[in-house]
């Protein structure tokens, strides 16, 4: 308990061990801790186990770099800027990533249970689908539900007959408590209070569910400032273990109130991601070709970043060209 | 003056315009709509600007009744939350709104569909050793399972309208009861949580609905196509005996709203 420790990006990545179970803040291509994801790749992490409510560009970067062993989620892609998660898909087909699919709201149920310290969460969502087909319990098939890994539940899900109001059969989704939540947040107070703008996604649940939490802060501000409007804050300082102050740390994903999604950057990544050679070349340029986050930003250049900067009234940029007109 | 409410003639609109307009017409005034990315966004926004000003929209990333002034490109977009009643998260959207029972209409898309309305957005081939992976379920099956009605917007292709889909991502009218895997009517799987189900499928060729047995039939055919044309683009034996006529084309006002108010930047409507 107490205040989070201020560390560097390199120190943050070095805390993550091969094989750890990770989850992330954000939603598809919004508020992802991209700078830390790049640093995990630079440090050559292996066999990572991801549980994420939904995937995105960051998932594909980790998949392309060969960092992922297990991916439990429901979706991966780049929204309008790349319709598939090509690198996860290629590895699922080859069998080099174990893929465990849940529905989106079933993923939320698992994280909610983890966040609230309860062993499972009941839901009626997405019954009757092949997500529940026992033949498609891929962690079970791999022999990983034997209790030897405390982060993998003994069953993919269970069913219960509602014992209270006779609502019928419901699903029980097992809690997930990742080793780490890797979070990007707009503002973190000097005592660790966390604020994000607009939609909260599953950031609150990810912070609470994880054993340890690292936050990349767009900016660190006085806690007294955040405490003027406590209803806008999403987490207390004692829930956070480490903080890294790093402007533009979510690029190319967007951060409401700070910057928009860099659509051209993600489109270029998506084209590259259609082959391993393409990804490797992209990674040589954008991950291994820059020493650190500052060099990455310098390479992007001020003109590009200024175009993405959010309008302070609207929370997003109107200077980016988004369509054909 | 009244010309704006007249129907546009073939050649005066694009196929995608009709898709958006036909989908918008499924929205009833006052509906609470839970929409996915892309054409569903255009459809709900057009409906709000025309016949359904009291319809509200929920996006799964957590914006509840947003009033965007710029078209979002995804449901997590900052634009979704502009002037929203609440900027919450997924727990609120999926449990506080959907599971709770507020949602009237789910607006979704899919890669493949079968005659019972089961949708696949996960894999081609066997899941355990697939030939190809799509994006995955996202919130598609969640929204579809507990909204009172759901509408799918899809591309009409023989390979997409199949007797059986390779993987049931999202539940139609006849689904599998797990863990046994026996086929059952949706009512017998959802019990007291049964609230309805897939009501319409809208493609670039027609509008499909479901009969009393939960089997898809062709309801209307878009201008320029025949029922036979549609049947030839479906891989199962499509019932075309209940066709009620031609899909009404967009009005001039619909087209004006789509291109000047809903998507002036040309994001989904090039």
Strand B119-120, strand B112-114: pairing: antiparallel
Name the B residues in 195-234 with CB < 8 Å from any A CB.
none
Residue from B253, B264, B269 nearest B50 by CA? B253
Q: Nearest-CA residue of chain A relative to B96?
A: A105
CB B89 to CB A204 under 8 A? yes
pLDDT, residue B1, reads 46
Q: Note the Cα A132 to chain centre separation in Å.
A: 24
Q: How far is B114 from chain A (nearest CA, A)?
A: 13
CB A27 to CB B87 under 8 A? no
Residues A29 and A81: their CA atoms lie apart, in Å, by: 9
Q: How far is B177 from chain A (nearest CA, A)?
A: 5
Low-confidence ranges of chain B (pLDDT < 70): 1-2
Q: Which residues of B touch A26 (CB under 8 A)?
A: 76
Q: Which residues touch A94 (CB under 8 Å, ≥6 apart)?
A: none
Half-sphere exposure of A323 (CA within 13 A, CB side): 16
Q: How far is A78 from chain B (nearest CA, A)?
A: 9
Q: B87 touching A, CB under 8 A? A: yes
pLDDT, residue A54, reads 98
Domain boundaries, chain A: 5-245
Q: Which of A85, A126, A255, A317 to mutate to test the interface with B (most CBs of B within 10 A)?
A: A126
pTM value surpassing 0.90: yes
Q: How far is B260 from chain A (nearest CA, A)?
A: 11
CB B141 to CB A75 under 8 A? no
CB B142 to CB A125 under 8 A? yes
Q: Note the Cα A11 to chain centre separation in Å.
A: 19
Of B77, B130, B170, the CB nearest to A92: B130
ipTM rounded to 2 decimals: 0.97
**All domains of chain B, ordered by start, with CATH?**
2-262 (3.40.1080.10)
Pull the structure tokens for residue A283: 């990674």
Surface-to-core class of residue A199, CB atoms within 10 Å of its CB (0-12 exposed, 13-18 middle, 19+ buried): buried
Element (H, E) at A243: strand A242-245
CB B179 to CB A204 under 8 A? no
Residues B175 and B188: their CA atoms lie apart, in Å, by: 9
Surface-to-core class of residue B53, CB atoms within 10 Å of its CB (0-12 exposed, 13-18 middle, 19+ buried): exposed
Q: Nearest-CA residue of chain B relative to A76?
A: B135
CB pairs under 8 A between A and B: 239
Residue from A196, A289, A216 nearest A35 by CA? A216
Q: Nearest-CA residue of chain B relative to A260?
A: B78
pLDDT, residue B3, reads 83
Q: Mind listing the pLDDT tens digit of every residue in chain A (325 residues)?
A: 689 999 999 999 999 999 999 999 999 999 999 999 999 999 999 999 999 999 999 999 999 999 999 999 999 999 999 999 999 999 999 999 999 999 999 999 999 999 999 999 999 999 999 999 999 999 999 999 999 999 999 999 999 999 999 999 999 999 999 999 999 999 999 999 999 999 999 999 999 999 999 999 999 999 999 999 999 999 999 999 999 999 999 999 999 999 999 999 999 999 999 999 999 999 999 999 999 999 999 999 999 999 999 999 999 999 999 999 9
CB A323 to CB B167 under 8 A? no
pLDDT in tens, B210-226: 999 999 999 999 999 99
Q: Which residues of B touch A105 (CB under 8 A)?
A: 90, 94-95, 98-99, 139, 142
Name the CATH superfamily housing domain A5-245: Glutaconate Coenzyme A-transferase (3.40.1080.10)
Q: How far is A292 from chain B (nearest CA, A)?
A: 28
pLDDT, residue B167, reads 97
Largest CA distance in chain B: 62
- The string of DSSP letters for A125-178 reads TTTTSGGG-GGG-HHHHTT--SSSSTTS-SSS-EEEE-TTT---EEEEEE----
Q: Which residues of B touch A82 (CB under 8 A)?
A: none
CB atoms within 10 A of CB B260: 9
- The string of DSSP letters for chain B reads -GGGGSBPPTTSS-HHHHHHHHHHTTPPTT-EEEE-SSHHHHHHHHHHHTT-TT-EEE-TTSEES---SS--SSTT-GGGGTT-SEE-BHHIIIIIIIITT---EEEEE-SEEETT--EE-SEEEETTEEEEE-S--TTHHHHHHHSSEEEEE----GGGEESS-SS--B--SEEEETTTTEEEETHHHHGGG---EEEEEE-SSEEEEE-TTS-EEEEEE-TT--HHHHHTT-SS--B-TT--EEPPPPBHHHHHHIIIII-TT-SS--
Q: A314 touching B, CB under 8 A? A: yes
Q: A112 touching B, CB under 8 A? A: yes
Residue from B99, B98, B116, B95 nearest B107 by CA? B98
Q: Nearest-CA residue of chain A relative to B176?
A: A128
Name the A residues in 170-209 with CB < 8 Å from any B CB.
197-205
Q: Nearest-CA residue of chain A relative to B260?
A: A325
């Amino acid at each position: 308990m107490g205040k989070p420790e201020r560390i560097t990006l390199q120190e943050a990545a070095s805390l993550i061990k091969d094989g750890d179970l990770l989850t992330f803040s954000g939603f598809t291509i919004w508020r992802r801790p991209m700078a830390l994801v790049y640093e995990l790749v630079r440090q050559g992490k292996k066999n990572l186990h991801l549980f994420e409510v939904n995937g995105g560009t960051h998932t594909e970067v980790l998949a392309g770099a060969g960092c992922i062993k297990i991916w439990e989620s429901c979706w991966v892609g780049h929204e309008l800027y790349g319709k598939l998660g090509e690198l996860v898909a290629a590895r699922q087909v080859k069998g080099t990533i174990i893929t465990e699919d849940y529905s989106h709201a079933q993923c939320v149920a698992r994280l909610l249970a983890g966040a609230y310290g309860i062993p499972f969460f009941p839901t009626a969502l997405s019954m009757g689908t092949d997500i529940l087909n026992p033949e498609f319990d891929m962690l079970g098939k791999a022999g990983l539900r034997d209790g030897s890994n405390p982060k993998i539940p003994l069953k993919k899900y269970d069913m219960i007959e509602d014992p209270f109001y006779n609502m019928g059969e419901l699903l029980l989704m097992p809690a997930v408590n990742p080793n780490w939540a890797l979070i990007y947040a707009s503002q973190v107070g000097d005592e660790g209070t966390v604020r994000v703008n607009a939609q909260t996604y599953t950031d609150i649940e990810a912070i609470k569910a994880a054993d340890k939490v690292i936050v990349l802060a767009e900016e660190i501000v006085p806690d007294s400032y955040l405490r003027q409007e406590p209803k806008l804050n999403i987490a207390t300082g004692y829930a956070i273990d480490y903080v890294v102050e790093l402007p533009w740390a979510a690029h190319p994903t967007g951060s409401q109130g700070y910057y928009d999604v860099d659509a051209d950057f993600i489109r270029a990544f998506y084209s590259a991601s259609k082959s391993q050679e393409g990804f490797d070349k992209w990674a040589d340029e954008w991950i291994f070709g820059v020493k650190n986050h500052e060099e990455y930003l310098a390479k992007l250049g001020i003109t590009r970043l200024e175009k993405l900067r959010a309008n302070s009234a609207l929370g997003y940029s109107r200077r980016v060209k988004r369509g054909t007109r | 003056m009244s010309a704006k409410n007249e129907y546009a003639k073939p050649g005066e609109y694009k196929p995608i315009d009709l898709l958006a307009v036909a989908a918008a017409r499924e929205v009833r005034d006052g509906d609470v709509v839970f929409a996915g990315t892309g054409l569903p966004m255009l459809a709900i926004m057009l409906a709000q600007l025309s016949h359904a000003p009291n319809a509200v929209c929920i996006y799964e990333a957590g914006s509840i009744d947003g009033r965007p002034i710029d078209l979002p490109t995804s449901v997590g977009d900052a634009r979704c939350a502009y002037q929203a009643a609440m900027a919450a998260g997924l727990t609120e959207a999926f449990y506080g709104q959907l599971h709770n029972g507020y949602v009237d209409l789910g607006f979704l898309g899919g890669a493949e569909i079968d005659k019972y309305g089961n949708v696949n957005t996960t894999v081609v081939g066997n899941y355990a050793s697939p030939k190809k992976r799509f994006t995955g379920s996202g919130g598609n099956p969640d929204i579809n399972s507990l909204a009172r009605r759901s509408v799918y917007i899809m591309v009409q292709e023989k390979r997409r309208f199949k007797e059986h889909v390779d993987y049931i991502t999202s539940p139609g009218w006849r689904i599998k009861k797990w863990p046994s895997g026996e086929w059952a009517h949706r009512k017998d799987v959802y019990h007291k949580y049964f609230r309805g189900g897939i009501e319409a499928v809208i493609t670039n060729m027609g509008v499909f609905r479901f009969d009393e047995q939960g089997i898809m039939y062709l309801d209307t055919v878009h201008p320029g196509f025949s029922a036979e044309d549609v049947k030839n683009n479906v891989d199962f034996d499509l019932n075309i005996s209940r066709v009620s006529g031609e899909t009404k084309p967009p009005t001039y006002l619909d087209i004006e709203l789509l291109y000047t108010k809903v998507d002036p930047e040309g994001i989904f409507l090039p």
